[in-house]
Each structure stands twice: as structure tokens, then as C-alpha cells.
Structure 1
Amino acid sequence: MQLSLDRARPAPPAAAGPGARTWLVTPGITPAWFASAVGSGAEAVLLDLEDSVPAEAKAGARESVLTFTGRCPRSGGGPLVGVRINSVDTPEGVRDVAAMADGGLWPDLVVVPKVESGDVVAAVVRSVRAAGAATRVWALIESPRAVLALPDIVRTPGLAGVLFGAADYAAAAGCRITPRAMWYPRSQLVTAAAAAGIPAVDSPHFSPDPGELSRETLEAVELGFAGKVAIHPRQLPVIAQAFAPSPQELETAQAVLAAAAGSGGRITTVDGAMVGPPLVEAARAVVRRAECAAALTTTLTMKAS
């Protein structure tokens, strides 16, 4: 199977799908972990065929991953189940897409790594659409060249969202994986994604310290990321809690909505501060975050017990 990189037949836009704050990535070389990952309470589960799988194990991992995703139900309230394929600029990436197409084994999500232009994303989108699959295609942004190409990448028809890969970015840029070093690429990613109307999901955190994970996730929330990737199930509750608004945030949001309702939609004040339509919409977003976080926390608590 050949992946055409021309833009002669652009694919129609794809819906980004339900918001997923908690993502869990699992190596494709460990099929014994797949079911527990799906049952972890994460809202999206990624089975990895790229970095976690050595070259000699690619074929076996591909078969295990696609057999599993092919059996996963597409309803019932479970997580989205996706696959991070190999770069489509490599033979293994082409084989990954060909295996999905030939076997009709399309997952909920396909994450395309090493994206540095919209062309490679468009090629995968076309393969998905040609098969009549409902799979959403996401781009993994993990190099300085990719960050500079974001305006082109996020305009790719059919792109459902973008993820950030901090480790590969730091290696390519020659910088450390610190909050200060990652502010620029993360801000650029969130800005480009917001302009295109698609979600952005933050990179995994690699330290075992839950306090560091919490601080980094709070930064992701402040920047505007829709979710964050975990590399172990124990990170999921920390991520979920960080995405939940604080009691003070929720109280302020509820006060803003009450004042807006009492003013009949006109500009009003809360605690002496002027409140207009943008702040009202932001308050609605906080309330929605609180509702989603409460449901997610309940799910993760039940899974852990």
C-alpha cells in the first residue's frame, strides 16, 4: 500500500470527539497490559507502536495491537482507544496504516508521530476516509521544525487534534525538559490549535514525583491544554485533579453566572470587577470543567478500589 502525499483530494473535516483530559499510553509490546489500560479510568488510551517497540518486534506488536483494538467495543461509555503508529515517512509506518486498512482494524484514534508538515497527516486522513472509518487522526508535535510549521499542520482538513512530545522536542532543540524551556513550544501549540478549533494535549511528565506532575499539569491547564498524557495509571488521578477547578474558582464562576443572569445579559459587576460576555463564557467553562472532573474523579476512585 502506498500513501499518496498529494493534496488533490482533501479529506473532509473530522470532529475532534469528546474532550479527554486523561490519556494513558501503553507500550505495544506488552499485550498483557492492554486490558488493564482500557480499564484504568483514562478517557483515552494509546497503544504505542513507535518508540516503545524495538525494530525486531514491530510486526508482532502491530498484530497484537490491531487485534486488540479490533475487538474493543465502540460504545458503552469506555475510553477512546487509539494507536500511535510509526512515522509514515518510514516503512513501518506505511505497514501500520496498510494493516489497519487491509484488516479493517481502525481504532478510535490514530496518532501520527514526527509530524513536520500537513502532508503526512493528510495522507493518513485520506486512508481513513477511503476505508469509510470513523477514526480521528491526531498529530504529534515533537520538534522545533514542527512548531514552526504549526500554521500549516493545524489547517490540515480532517485533523482532530494535536499532542506535544516534550522529550523529542528537547532532544532536537538541545534544551532541558523544564517548565521554562517548554513554555514557548507549548504556548505555540495551544495557540495554533485554538485558532484552528481543535484540542491540544500536553506531553507526558517523566518524573515519579506526583507534586511535580501536579505543578506541570496546572501549567498545562493555565496554558489552555485540553488534556495530558500519563505514562502510568497512578498519574491519572493527579492529572484529573489538576484539571478540576479549585473551590474558589468554582465559587467565583458561579457568582459570575448568577450576576449575569440577574442583569439580563448586560455587563455587570462581581466583587467590584466588571463582568462582560467573555468572562461569562469563561465562567461557564469552569462549571463544565467542574462537572467533568467530578464524574472523572468518581470513575478513577472506583477503578482504584
Structure 2
Amino acid sequence: MTTPRTAPGGTWLITPPSDGRLEAALRAQPDVALLDLEDSVPPHGKDTARAAALAHLGAAPVHGATVLGLRVNAPGTVHGLKDLVALADAGLRDTVVLVPKVESARELELVDQALRETATGVRICALIETPRALLRLDDIFASPVLGGVVFGAADYAAATGCRRTSSSLVWARSSIAAAAAAHGIPSIDSPYFDLGNPQGLQRDAQEARDLGFAGKGAVHPDQLPIIRAAFLPTEEEVAQARAVVSAAGRADGRLVRAGGQMVGPPLVAAARAVLNRAQNGTDPSAHGGTQ
């Protein structure tokens, strides 16, 4: 396998590989459409789901701006081993492979070794969802084969006995986002599972953005517009960032006031990041200009 590239940020839509759901997922145009062989597939259906997923990946791993991915079963399980053998035989290209229950860099390297001879352009990503993984982030994230990380809030909450609330998950989310930034890889926040609460999704997505995540998972296409809007700068933020960059340009390296605050190198770097997000995304006014 070639040197891994980092995985896309933005929206990751998780979907079973059968029943026409991939077609609906692709119409929603997520950054990554992640075919799931793990939690959404019962044991008796995994062989059928695996064959369907590999057929999709082999036919077209990239659909416009959407990259296809696959969440395999944990490598230490029978179905996880069958997944890896099938992936090696399939000769994957330009796809994301999400490995669940990762607790060491060695697990990622085993996946890389299984795919190395036949796959090209594959981004191996780690699903961080156990307390033990949280205590080993630096070791896991230092793996040279790692292309990105995803937080699994549901399994983490089940393992720790905590509630799935903002306050109870803030340490885990902050730790993952910070460690990913330190190692230069994108971090994707856990999906929000209450499909009937768009206000809750908006709030949760804003928190993910504020903590430094590069994107967020979704479990239904209807969640994608809210997530996209939350990760885009508001018109006010863009205006403030332009003022900071403009003031810094005139100051020629000296500290200067802009919008009532002193502007130094860290604020200038942050402002440029805001402008970059605005330029690479959609105009926030298309989403109502609010977050």
C-alpha cells in the first residue's frame, strides 16, 4: 500500500451497504459515505453485507466529492479477520477503512500489513471508543499508517457508564481533538443519534467545531445540512477574520488593534484558518448565516 494520505474532514455519513441506502447517502453528498459492516449488521448478515460493500467499493470508490469508506469489524474478531482477508483480495483503491475498538498502534499496523500488497490510496482510520484507548492516544495517534480518527461516543459511554451528554463527554472529545491536532491528522466527532432533535444536533455539532474537530459523523442524510452549517464560519466570523488579517498586513509584524482586540500572530493564524474554511465551504448565508 502506498504511503497513507489523511482522511477527509467534513461530514461522514454511516450507512449499511444494502437495501439501496448507499444511493440515498450519495444523493446527500457527504464528504465520506461510510459503509458499515459492524454495528448495523447482525452476525448472520455479515457475509452478505461484506460482499455488497466490496462490490460498491470496487465499482466506484469516489463519487464526485464523496469518498467511499468501510467500517470493518474489529480485527480481533472472526468477522474482522474475514473482512481483512476479503479487503486484501479486493485490491482496494482510494477508500477509507475505519477500524473499530482500536486500543493500540499495533492493531492499525496489522490492518496496514494485510492491505499493503494489494491496496492503493487507502486511508486507515481509528475509531476511538474505549477508556483504554483514551489513555493511549499518543501511542495510537503516532502510528505512521494512521490517516484520521473518529470518536465513538455510544460505545465509550457504555464502557464508562457515563451519560451521553456534553458535560460528561467533554474530556474525551477534547482529548481526541487535541491529540489529533498534535499529530496532524483530522478528527471526526461521533454522530448525534436523536434524529428528532435538530436543535440538539446543531448544538452538538457546534461544540464539536469549537473543540477542534475537523468534521462530524451522521446517521441520516437529513443531518448533513445542519452539520455543514455548524462547521462553516458565520458571516460575522468571516468579517472579523478579514479585519484581523487586514490589520495585521498593515502593521508589518507589530501588534495592532482590530475590532477591539490586540492582534498578534496566534490571532492572525486563527483568522486565516477561518477564511480558509469559508473559502473551501459554502457561503454561510446559504444556511441562514447562523450557527
Q: How much has 1:263 moved relative to structure 2?
A: 1.8
Classify 1:73/1:150 alpha carbon distance in 2 versus 1 (closer, same or farther; 3 Å). Answer: closer
Partner of 2:6: 16
**Which consecutive segments of 4 or more residues in structure 1 shift more than 6 A?**
295-298
Partner of 1:110 in structure 2? 97
Give the structure-1-normalised TM-score.
Answer: 0.89
From 63, 66, 77, the equivalent of 1:79 is 66
For structure 2, list consecutive stretches of 5 or more residues without a partner in the other structure. Answer: none
Aligned to 1:143: 130
Identical columns (%): 45
Q: How far 1:159 sits from its partner (Å)?
A: 0.1
Paired residues of 1:31 and 1:64 also in contact (CA < 8 A): no
Q: 1:295 to 1:111 in 2, by over 3 A?
A: farther
Paired residues in the alignment total: 286
**Are 1:27 and 2:16 counterparts?**
yes
- CA gap of 1:92–1:296, structure 2 versus 1, over 3 A, is farther
- Partners of 1:97 and 1:285 lie apart in 2 by 38
Return the letter of the residue paired with 2:185: I
TM-aligned CA deviation for residue 129 of structure 1:
2.4
* 1:158 shift after superposition: 1.3
> Any idea what the Cα deviations from partners look like across 1:50-89, whole Å, max 9, x if unmatched?
0100001110000000001110154x73311100000000
Alpha-carbon distance in structure 2 between the residues aligned to 1:86 and 1:296: 38
Matched residue SS, 2:98: strand
| Structure 2 counterpart of 1:7 | none
The amino acid of 2:47's aligned partner reads A
Partner of 2:276: 288
| Letter of the 2:210 counterpart | E
Counterpart for residue 199 of structure 1: 186
Which residue is equivalent to 2:177? Answer: 190
Answer yes or no: is 1:166 the counterpart of 2:153: yes
Pick from 227, 236, 239 the counterpart of residue 224 of structure 2: 236
The CA distance in 2 between the partners of 1:126 and 1:268, in whole Å, is 52
Cross-structure match for 1:54: 42
Matches of 2:86 and 2:122, distance apart in 1: 14
Question: AA paired with 1:182?
Answer: L
Residue 36 of structure 1, CA deviation = 2.1
> In structure 2, what is the equivalent of residue 4 of structure 1?
none
1:229-251 alpha-carbon deviations (Å, 9 max, x no partner): 01000000000000111222111
Aligned with 1:130: secondary structure? coil
Listed one character per residue, the Cα deviations across residues 137-190 of structure 1 (whole Å, up to 9, x for unaligned) are: 000000111111111100111100100000000000001100011001001101
**One-letter identity of the residue aligned with 2:123:** R
Pick one of 40, 47, 58 that aligns with 2:28.
40
Contact 1:128 1:134 in 2 (8 A): no
| Map of 1:70 onto structure 2 | 58
How many Å separate the matches in 2 of 1:175 and 1:160? Answer: 29
Contact preservation (8 Å) 1:82, 1:110: yes
1:71-109 deviations in whole A, cap 9, x for unaligned?
Answer: 0154x7331110000000011111111111112245510
CA RMSD of aligned residues (A): 1.9
The one-letter amino acid paired with 2:40 is S
Gaps of at least 5 residues in structure 1 are: 1-10
Pairing 1:99–2:99 present: no
What SS does structure 1 have at the residue aligned with 2:148?
strand
